[in-house]
Each structure stands twice: as structure tokens, then as C-alpha cells.
Structure 1
Amino acid sequence: MKYFGTDGFRGRANEGLNVDHAFKIGRFVGWYYGARRGKKARVIIGKDTRLSSYMFESALVSGLVASGADAYMLHVIPTPGVSYEVVDGGFDCGVMITASHNPYTDNGIKLVNHEGYKMDEDVLELIEDYIDGKSEVPLATGENIGCTVDYMQGRNRYIASLISSCGFSLQGMKIGLDCANGSASSVARPVFDALGAETHVINNAPNGYNINVACGSTHIEGLQRFVVENGLDIGFAYDGDADRCLAVDERGHLVDGDLILYVCGTYLNKYGRLAKSTVVPTVMGNFGFFRALEAAGLNYEKTDVGDKYVYACMRENGYNLGGEQSGHIIFGDLAKTGDGILTSLRIMEVLRAEREKLSELTRPVKLYPQQLVNVRVSDKDAVMNGEDIKAAIAQAEEYLEGNGRVFVRASGTEPLVRVLTEAPDEKLCTKAGAIVLTALEKYKLDE
């Protein structure tokens, strides 16, 4: 794919991704799901809080209505809210404007099909051809021109669905929420308040520039302090579009995606609700996490990094729980994509049912130290196919003598190669990682 990566079409606003791209995406989608099928398309649009999201929203809406589609505007909403409402409202497709955990200067466009899943690649290829001028789309005229609809009721229905997914009360629970000044800012608190929690919220005053800035799931340390200083029972941190969630236990310790999968997986399996007693993590999962799953009698099937690979494996094999260390957790029985707020509620379900603190539920997992280094490179393919890099990885793993691993992967959205080392102690991590990082020196991108 030329424009659409593993997480949509993403780039620096008006540089890598510009308003012309957004207009053309709207034009093609409006035609493809409308006139091509002999009816007006109904498309919903959501966005996060970054400055450029409003600009891209206007461009997308203009393109949609110009092609004859009716554009339903959800305004600021988490990405999973778009996925939910596409299905709930019977729309032809949905569009989310977000760059997730990236800085406000970036933005992106994610497309989901009528089933709430990421858009099929064959359709994305057609959109790319249109962007590049390889095809044409007619303009709608007269009564065939589309209209815009202020669709706040869709966001309200999404909030109601989160609340109704809980058959329990949070009365007496003191819960901290870090909304990353992003999409969760307008959704998370109403959900927890409705369930009776004593809700303490930080970073929920977006101004267009402060999304993900020293807050949210990418800067968990703020929530860790907040939980301890205020004597809270638990804390949850979301990313910019709230499809990820990381937790903080009552002691201020980070509970990442691996630990969340362990806590929820063992709970669901205990009550016969984990399909095939199997969890679907990615290859980036921690050694200690995998060993804890084995000790608990759970199976696991690892996928490539990326939520689309996790969910593809879940759908193909009938599994209902999977996710990434970053906090992108998918509860297949309840949602079509990762949902940070839903993940929070599922963790609270476990705490309520088991009557234990989060620190107690995670105690069986002894995580290995990990070191992750991002290296900006001039050619990701050259790195990943380089025999010298493969030899360095083999040398590093030989150094670890089977008590750890070295994993190298290319970023799907940036000119980065990620080097993960994992070993029983930090010194071994550093030494093993240095072997690969030295080999990467000649591929580094000149700053």
C-alpha cells in the first residue's frame, strides 16, 4: 500500500497527509458506497481533539456530500465508538480522523467497513488509485448531492453501550482516569460516574495542541503519581483516540497490555468464557507473560505486531481475547476493535468478581526486563533484509544462551526500526541489544 499503512493513512498534517487527500478519500468513499450501488451512502465521521482534525473533517465531509453521500458527524469520539456506531446505526462505512498516540502535528484517516472492521485492502487500493489520478469519480448534482447530519445521538448510544455492558456497580471504588487530552475526554467520565465510581480525572481539557503531551498511556508516570498521591484503588490511561488502555494498580505500578491479558484471560477461563482457553498476544509479548499463561493452563497464539493481525487471528480461529503490550486489547465477544474504556470496565469486572486488588491479580506474572530502542533509518527494507543484521541478531541471541531474545521489526508508520531485547536482568538486555545497535549504525538516517 502506498498511503494506507497498518493504522490508516497517517502523516504530518498538510505535509504527509493533506486536505486534498482527505477530500479525495471522501469523494471516492461517497461514490463507491453510493451511486455505484444505486443509492445514497450513509457514512459516519468521528475525530480526536488535535488541531487539524477539524480541518480534515471539513475536507472529508465536502468530498462525501459532493459524491452524493450523507455524512453523519459524531464529532469527538474514541475510534471504537465509530466502529460500534457503524454497526449499531447500519451505516455503509465509517471514518475516524486521528493519529492515535502521535503528537498533535500529525494526523491520520482510518476507514472501517459496514461490519465495524478495518476497511478491506482491495477498497483501500481503489482509493489510492483515485488519489493518484488513475480513476475518476463523477460529482453529484441536484437532489443527488449529499447532506451533513449532526449525529451526537450516535456518541450517546456508544456511551450507553459501554454502561450497559456492565452488570455490576462501581460504588465505593476510587478510580483515576488519564484521558490524554484526547477522545476519551468527552466519554470516559460519564461512563464511570454512571456506574457509581468516585471518579478522579486528569488531562481532560483538550485545546488542540496538548493531546498526548506528557500524559496518557504514552506517559504513564503522571497517572502513577496521581493514583498514589490520592489513595486511589486503580487508574486507567488512554491514548489520543482511546483505543488503548494501560492500568496502574493501587501501589502505582504499571499494568501493561500483557498483564491485562493475563488478568482478563485467567478470569474468563476460570468461568468458561475464554474461547478455546486461548489468548492472542503479539510476538512482542514478554517471556514472563508467556510463562505465566502456561502455568495457568492457558494456550496462546502469537501474531505479528498490529491489532489487525491480532483480530484476524481471533476471527479466523474463533478466539475472543487478544491484544498488544501497548494496551490495545480486543474483547471479541463485545467489540470489533480495541477499546480503551471497554478494557477498563472489563478489568473492573474482574476486580469486583474476584474481590482482589489489581496488584494481587498480577502477582503470578514475573516479567522479564525489556529494552526497546527506536532507530531512525534511511531504508527499513534494507535493514530487515540485511545479512549483517540477521547475523547480529543471531550473535545476540547466542550471547543470551536461550534465556532471552532479540527482536527487530520495522515500524509500519514511521522510518524506524525497533530493537527489543529481553533477558533475566537489565545488564544482559543492554549487552545483547548493543550487538544489534552497533550493526545498525551504518543504516541510521542523517538528522
Structure 2
Amino acid sequence: MKKLFGTNGVRGVFSEDFTLEFVNDLVMSLAAHFKQGKILVGYDGRHSSPIVAKVVSSALNYSGLDCYMAGLVPTPCLEYATKKLGYDGGLMITASHNPPQYNGIKPVASDGVEISREDERKIEQIFDEKNWIKASTFGKSFEETNVISTYIDGIISLIDIDSIKAKKFKVCLDLGNGAQAVTAKKLCENLGCDVHTINEEINGDFPGRGSEPTPQNLDELSKLVVDTNSNFGIAFDGDGDRSIFCDETGKILTGDSSALLLCDYLLQQYPNSQVVTCLNSGNIIENIVEKTNSHVVRTKVGSVEVSRRMVNDDALVGYEENGGFMFGNHNHVRDGAMTLALMLDLLSKSQLDLSQNIKNLPPSFTTKTKIECSLEKSKIVISELLKEFPDSNTSDGIKIQVDKDNWVMIRPSGTEPIIRIYGESNSQQNLDSLISNFVEKTKSILA
């Protein structure tokens, strides 16, 4: 059976492996999975997205399903509107943080959450067998104009607007030339913030700093936060479901540290709750949940794994170390704008700056890096490391517990031809040494 789905949706290089013919066949298979009803379709700012959208709507209509076009919106906006406005499913045209030449499709179930791994396999089987719908009547395409307002209203309903407005926050947004440009600024303005933006123009080439916010490419955001004396900055990825924060001193925070802070804040309001996170997140979360009689569940890497476990367990919070944060009371998906609103809510109730709030957490030293590597070679790396560390966890790549304070996890990316190396230690010096040791081991195996 052809493997279509990676860690997060179906992606490929547009016009090479992600061709219009492939898109048609994929959407015919998705339509056969949905069977009937009305499907909400949105897209990101990639140059190929409007072209792909036309093929998507045609294939849905040919299969007898009605298609409602949301236009250019962030992924979490499309997901929330699918649930809130009563759609039978959604299709988001995006390759998330991948380089400009890529595009992809993320299918969304009627509950507003990406479809399960089991449903992915069913769709791959339909695709293989070309077991498509022979519709007696064609569907129709319409415009859906309430998606953005529904999304912003949903976020605002869950936070203390008066408390936030009273603080008159200054916020810097690095919109990354991506889809949050249509929602994040509007959200901040609705909350009475003084907003400064960079990379606001939506552009599929992502000329500002690339489509993925990383500590290495957010210098401009750091400078803007300091120059404008802002309370904090936030940077989004291409489709707006992930966010990386910058504190008031200009320091870029890891996705883990901002998630820990928000977990601590939310668990105080909702004790006896569940947090879902991946195997590659740091271990400090286990210390934080104890204070509120809450508990942690670990999954394989991937937002689908976290989201679907959250739905299954009705969990309060989910997160990934890459800046993907999920608040179950809103929707069980990564959501950059909801995360922004939660940080404003937290700071509106605190007498401390963001940097001081972070300092009050138990210290956490985590990092990640990557090496170009095919999937086949990744498997060789993992099998060789397993010979050296036979007691390791191999449920997702390999996670090596060096001792109680130090671990390394190595796994192939599900979206790109790279192998990722994650690690945690009890000091920055030890972490640097740990990671460089395992980068060398990996390179020597590859050589």
C-alpha cells in the first residue's frame, strides 16, 4: 500500500511528486472517506495553493460533495471553523513549515481535529484501489465568509479580555510571511494591544526568515522587542499553528519552556487534568503536573498523535517541543493565535515580566539539531545505535536514556529527508557535550 501520509498530512514538491493529477486522486480518495456532506477548504500563502484549491474543489464536487471555500487562513482557523460551523470535514492546503517549493493537504475530521492514523491508512487503501465515489449528481462550491471571525471570537471567549486590555500590552509579531497575518494582528488589536509587526506581507517564498521560526532566524524579532520596549514577541510558522516566543529582554524561548509556563498556569486553574506531549519533550513537565494532582501522557512525535490522544482522553493541554501548543477547551490542535492569547492572559494576571516567569520554572536544558539523511540511512543509524544502547526505547526512532538527567532521541523526520537529534541535560554545558557526541556518532555511522 502506498504510504501517502507523513508526520502531519500529505506533502511533496509541487509539480514533481505533488502534481495536480496526484492532488486529484488524493482528494477523490478523501471524498470517498468523507462519503458525503459539506467540506470546508482553506489554504496557506504558498504560490501553488490557489491552483491546488481549484483541483480540490473540482474533485470534491465530482464526487458529489459540496465544497465551501474559506480562502487564505491559518490551519488552526480552518480546523476550529470546521468544528464550530458544523462541517462534515475540512481540507487545509499547506506544507506547514516546509520550504517554498513544497505543498500539501491536511485532512480534518468533523470534530475540527486532524484525522487519526487509522483513517490515514483507510484513505491510503482507497487511493491504492481507486475505490472512488461514482456520484449520481455533482456537488457545488460556495464561499464561506465567517471563518476568521468565528475563530477570533472563539479564542477571545476563553480569556479575560478586561484584564488584558487594562494592561495595554506592547506585542511584536513576526508573521513569517505566513497565514497568521490575516488573524494574529486582528486578535491583538481586539485585545487592546499596541502591535508591531515584521514579515507581515503574505508571500509564498517566505523571504523574511523562512517558513519555520527557529532560534537562529529570529534576530530581527529580538531586536524589535528590545527597540520598542515590548512585553514580548511571538513568531509563527507558515501555516500559523506553531509559535515561538521572545521575552522582553530579546531572548528567544524554546518551545518547551513556553509550553511549561502555560501548562503551569492552566493547571492551576484546572487541577486534576491531563497533559499530553511527545517522547522528545523535556522531563520537567512531570515535576510541574505533580503540584496540581495532574498527570502526563507521552506519545510518538507528531501533532496528530498528541491531538488524537487529547480527544480520546479529553485532555486539557497538549504540546510539542517545536512550539506547537494545544488548549483542549478551544480545540485539540496546535494553534499559534490561541497560544498568543493564553500568554497575554497569563501576563495580565502576573506582576512579573515574561523572563521572570520563565526563571521561576524548574531549569530545563533541551535542544535539537538535524542532519540530511534518507529514510533508509536513518534506519541504519537507529539499528547501529541500538546495538550500542540495547535498553533504549524504539517506539519512535530511538530514545537513549544515558542517565537520569541525560537523554538523546534520534528519529527520521516524517516530512523531510533529514534525521533529527533531540536531547535534554541538567546544564547547558553538559547538553552541548551530549549533543555533539551523538552528532559525531550519527555522522560516523552515515560515513
TM-score (norm: length of structure 1): 0.88
Deviation at 1:20, TM superposition (A): 1.4
User: Of residues 158, 164, 167 in structure 1, which corresponds to 2:157?
Assistant: 164
CA distance in 2, matches of 1:155, 1:148: 19
Instruction: Indicate how the Cα distance of structure 1 residues 136 and 348 shifts in structure 2: closer, same or farther if over 3 A, else same.
Output: same
Assess if the C-alpha contact under 8 Å between 2:423 and 2:434 holds in 1: yes
CA distance in 1, matches of 2:21, 2:416: 21
User: Of residues 407, 410, 418 in structure 1, which corresponds to 2:409?
Assistant: 407
CA distance in 1, matches of 2:229, 2:212: 19
Deviation at 1:309, TM superposition (A): 2.2
Instruction: Indicate how the Cα distance of structure 1 residues 373 and 233 shifts in structure 2: closer, same or farther if over 3 A, else same.
Output: closer
Matched, 1:48 2:44: yes
1:276-291 → structure 2 map (5 Å cutoff): 276-288=272-284, 290-291=286-287
CA distance in 1, matches of 2:25, 2:61: 12
Deviation at 1:244, TM superposition (A): 0.9
Structure 2 residue ranges without an equivalent (≥5): 393-398
Structure 1 residue ranges without an equivalent (≥5): 35-39
CA distance in 1, matches of 2:97, 2:401: 35
Assess if the C-alpha contact under 8 Å between 2:154 and 2:330 holds in 1: no
Instruction: Indicate how the Cα distance of structure 1 residues 138 and 347 shifts in structure 2: closer, same or farther if over 3 A, else same.
Output: closer
Cα displacement string for residues 158-185 of structure 1 (whole angstroms, at most 9, x for unaligned residues): 2332233333243311111111111101
1:343-382 → structure 2 map (5 Å cutoff): 343-378=339-374, 379-380=376-377, 382=379
Deviation at 1:208, TM superposition (A): 2.3
1:228-307 → structure 2 map (5 Å cutoff): 228-271=226-269, 273-274=270-271, 276-288=272-284, 290-291=286-287, 299-307=295-303
User: Of residues 111, 132, 137 in structure 1, which corresponds to 2:132?
Assistant: 137
Which has the larger displacement, 427-436 or 360-369?
427-436
Matched, 1:319 2:315: yes
Matched, 1:59 2:60: no
CA distance in 1, matches of 2:31, 2:334: 26
CA distance in 2, matches of 1:136, 1:283: 36
CA distance in 2, matches of 1:309, 1:31: 23
CA distance in 2, matches of 1:426, 1:160: 41
1:395-434 → structure 2 map (5 Å cutoff): 402-434=404-436
Deviation at 1:425, TM superposition (A): 3.9
Counterpart residue number, 1:2: 3
CA distance in 2, matches of 1:12, 1:277: 41
Which has the larger displacement, 338-347 or 203-212?
203-212
Instruction: Indicate how the Cα distance of structure 1 residues 415 and 390 shifts in structure 2: closer, same or farther if over 3 A, else same.
Output: farther
Letter of the aligned partner of 1:7 in structure 2? Answer: N
Assess if the C-alpha contact under 8 Å between 1:262 and 1:293 holds in 2: no
Cα displacement string for residues 276-315 of structure 1 (whole angstroms, at most 9, x for unaligned residues): 2443332222345555555787643333222222233333
Instruction: Indicate how the Cα distance of structure 1 residues 292 and 131 shifts in structure 2: closer, same or farther if over 3 A, else same.
Output: closer
Which has the larger displacement, 107-116 or 255-264?
255-264
Letter of the aligned partner of 2:15 in structure 1? Answer: N
Deviation at 1:2, TM superposition (A): 0.2
Instruction: Indicate how the Cα distance of structure 1 residues 127 and 421 shifts in structure 2: closer, same or farther if over 3 A, else same.
Output: closer
Assess if the C-alpha contact under 8 Å between 2:98 and 2:211 holds in 1: no
Counterpart residue number, 2:443: 441
Deviation at 1:399, TM superposition (A): 11
Deviation at 1:401, TM superposition (A): 5.1
Secondary structure (helix, strand or coil) at the match of 1:25 reads: helix
Counterpart residue number, 2:177: 181
Secondary structure (helix, strand or coil) at the match of 2:146 reads: helix
1:16-95 → structure 2 map (5 Å cutoff): 16-34=17-35, 41-95=37-91
CA distance in 1, matches of 2:437, 2:356: 37
CA distance in 2, matches of 1:193, 1:213: 24
Assess if the C-alpha contact under 8 Å between 2:60 and 2:66 holds in 1: yes
Instruction: Indicate how the Cα distance of structure 1 residues 394 and 41 shifts in structure 2: closer, same or farther if over 3 A, else same.
Output: closer
Matched, 1:198 2:218: no
CA distance in 1, matches of 2:238, 2:14: 16
Instruction: Indicate how the Cα distance of structure 1 residues 259 and 385 shifts in structure 2: closer, same or farther if over 3 A, else same.
Output: closer
Aligned residues: 435
CA distance in 2, matches of 1:259, 1:399: 21
CA distance in 1, matches of 2:417, 2:430: 27
Deviation at 1:260, TM superposition (A): 2.5
Secondary structure (helix, strand or coil) at the match of 2:230 reads: coil
Instruction: Indicate how the Cα distance of structure 1 residues 194 and 428 shifts in structure 2: closer, same or farther if over 3 A, else same.
Output: closer
Cα displacement string for residues 106-156 of structure 1 (whole angstroms, at most 9, x for unaligned residues): 111100111112223444334323433x23435546xx2222112122233
Instruction: Indicate how the Cα distance of structure 1 residues 14 and 326 shifts in structure 2: closer, same or farther if over 3 A, else same.
Output: same
Counterpart residue number, 2:395: none
CA distance in 2, matches of 1:212, 1:239: 12
